[in-house]
Structure 1
Amino acid sequence: MKNLHELASRLEGLPTAEGLALVADLFPGQVTFSSSLGQEDQVITALIAAQNLPIQIFSLDTGRLFPETLELLARTEAKYKLNIRLYYPGTDAVESLVAKNGINGFYESVENRKSCCYVRKVEPLKRALAGKQVWITGLRAEQSANRTEMKRVEWDEANQIIKYNPLLDWTYEQLLDYIQKEKIPYNPLHDKGFISIGCAPCTRAILPGEDARAGRWWWEESKKECGLHGK
């Protein structure tokens, strides 16, 4: 594979399942998928499992996840006979963060919140992506204004890796229809208005008319990103 343009051209127009299979074939043993157990990620997990693709699936356990999220992790592994690798934040880093800012210091400022996200998510992500060539995500352009600018295939400078967003153009209606049709397990919190689900203290249900990311860090004015996919 010479460049991103060539890869993007080969993936253009392919159904999602075929795109995942092509990437796995082009980069044997070098493709990894980050799942937060959201609806998008559950669809990708189902597609990987259905084709038995050699794509490593991992998730970040921040230590502040909803019990429903962890229960879904177990159900997903059982249904698809998969081993989803978990990455945790460093103990010393978490202890230092809490000692400095308090257990819920992320409510006090955007800077504190981003520090928490870095320790609990960004740093573990870097470890998860190390040595890989392609990072698959469940990002959709429709999720927020910040994500409309993303491309299906792009270069992630922060992690020095090719980033593949196979569901980028999917609508939320498409997503829900596919989940129902294929009987894909999902977080019951979605049925209670929690569309984008992250850490429990930082997630609320959205209100009618709000975009999917509005329920994340609702107390602050920001781009609603934690540093994994933008600042």
Structure 2
Amino acid sequence: MSLPDFSGTTPQERLASLRRSVAGRIVFTTSFGLEDQAITHMIREGGHDIEIVTLDTGRLYSETHAVWAETEQRYGLRIRSFHPDPQALAALLDDWGANGFYHTKDARLACCGVRKVEPLKRALAGAEAWVTGLRADQSQARGDVMAIEFDTGRGLAKAAPLHDWSREDVARFCETNGVPVNALHAQGYPSIGCEPCTRAVKPGEPERAGRWWWEQDDAKECGLHVDADGKFVRAKEAVQ
């Protein structure tokens, strides 16, 4: 499969180009963080036929649900949610307990697998392209993020329209356009995931230092953007 055209110097131009060049379904997965809120605004303001979905893990912050509701009201839409499979979740809790992810990395990855990775598989079923809020400067592991690449594991194009934006760029865009943002960002949470697995960052810490903070691995990911070996997916073929 050749990659679709993703030309354009701005994220808005990239999204428009992607929609023109992909005949089938395009899915944007939002976690309601700053980057995802900016992309939601761009999709709605541009009138692009791109589905907006989210993964409701069952352990999200109340502030995340609040901005979810505010976003639906602001843009006049319903964001479809995908949840963990009940039987898989029950088995996870039987195996590891409610908060077993604090004790071993295997337990944490199993939790992310049930609550995020498997629901994502269902969310992307039948899609030809996947839009994400990844930025290259979010972490060292994400430094090679490109505007578009082919996700061989999922068999679709994976686009990151904000790949070359800084956090300051995104924050400025959201403020200028009145985009709803998660209240936790103002409390020192640049990256927000599940409540038990996210803390505020300390001065001088990287953006994602508050995710799974008890683990020592610098390349901490939940599994949505890594390959079978747990390594961050690199672009096999990409354009900027």
TM-score normalised to structure 2 length: 0.91
> 2:105 matched to which residue of 1?
110
Gapped regions of structure 1 (runs ≥ 5)? none
Is 2:223 the partner of 1:227? yes
CA distance in structure 2 between the aligned counterparts of 1:203 and 1:209, rounded to whole angstroms: 17
Is 2:171 the partner of 1:176? yes
Cα distance, 1:161 vs structure 2: 1.3
TM-score normalised to structure 1 length: 0.95
- Larger proportion of helix: 1
CA distance in structure 1 between the aligned counterparts of 2:220 and 2:65, rounded to whole angstroms: 23
CA distance in structure 1 between the aligned counterparts of 2:9 and 2:165, rounded to whole angstroms: 13
> 2:2 matched to which residue of 1?
3
Instruction: State the SS of the aligned residue for 1:204.
Output: coil
Cα distance, 1:29 vs structure 2: 4.0
**Conserved? CA contact 1:28–1:54, under 8 Å:** no
**Conserved? CA contact 2:24–2:128, under 8 Å:** no
Is 2:25 the partner of 1:30? yes
Equivalent position amino acid for 2:220 in 1: K
Cα distance, 1:155 vs structure 2: 1.3
Task: Give deviations 1:133-191, integer Å, cap 9, x for gaps.
Answer: 10000000110001002221111122221100000000111111111100100000000
> 1:55 matched to which residue of 2?
50
What's the % identity of the aligned pairs? 46
CA distance in structure 1 between the aligned counterparts of 2:157 and 2:181, rounded to whole angstroms: 27
Is 2:75 the partner of 1:80? yes
**Conserved? CA contact 1:151–1:165, under 8 Å:** yes
**Conserved? CA contact 1:203–1:216, under 8 Å:** yes
RMSD of aligned C-alpha atoms? 1.1
Cα distance, 1:28 vs structure 2: 3.5
CA distance in structure 2 between the aligned counterparts of 1:11 and 1:54, rounded to whole angstroms: 16
CA distance in structure 2 between the aligned counterparts of 1:188 and 1:212, rounded to whole angstroms: 16
**Conserved? CA contact 1:153–1:165, under 8 Å:** yes
CA distance in structure 2 between the aligned counterparts of 1:13 and 1:31, rounded to whole angstroms: 18
Cα distance, 1:13 vs structure 2: 3.9
Is 2:93 the partner of 1:98? yes
Cα distance, 1:11 vs structure 2: 2.7
Equivalent position amino acid for 1:218 in 2: W
Q: Which runs of 4+ in 1 moved over 2 A?
A: 10-14
CA distance in structure 2 between the aligned counterparts of 1:3 and 1:161, rounded to whole angstroms: 10
Cα distance, 1:14 vs structure 2: 2.8
Gapped regions of structure 2 (runs ≥ 5)? 231-240
Instruction: State the SS of the aligned residue for 2:28.
Output: strand
Cα distance, 1:22 vs structure 2: 1.5
Instruction: State the SS of the aligned residue for 1:114.
Output: helix
**Conserved? CA contact 2:200–2:210, under 8 Å:** yes
User: How do 1:204-219 and structure 2 match up within 5 A?
Assistant: 204-219=199-214
